[in-house]
Amino acid sequence: MLTDQDYKDGQVLLFDKPLEWSSFQLVNKVRWLIRKNLNIKKIKVGHAGTLDPLATGLMIICTGKFTKRINEFMGQAKEYTGTITLGGTTPSYDLETEINEVFPTEHINDEMIHAFAKAYTGTIQQRPPIFSALKKDGKRLYEFARKGEEVDIPTREITIHEFEITRIALPEIDFRVSCSKGTYIRSLAYDMGKGLDSGAHLTALRRTKIGAHDIKDATTIDAFITTFTES
**52 included as an active-site residue:** yes
DSSP per-residue codes, the chain: ---HHHHHH--EEEEEEPTT--HHHHHHHHHHHHHHHHT-S---EEESS---TT-EEEEEEEEGGGGGGHHHHHTS-EEEEEEEEESEE-TTSSTTS---EE---TT--HHHHHHHHHHT-EEEEEPPPSSSS-EETTEEHHHHHHTT-------EEEEEEEEEEEEEETTEEEEEEEE-TT--HHHHHHHHHHHTTS-EEEEEEEEEEETTEEGGG-B-HHHHHHTTT--
Q: What are the beta bridge partners of residue 80?
A: 177, 207
Q: Which amino acid is at 194?
A: K
Catalytic residue chosen out of the listed positions 16, 52, 94, 191: 52
Between CA 19 and CA 55 the distance in angstroms is: 6
**Which residues are catalytic, by number?**
52
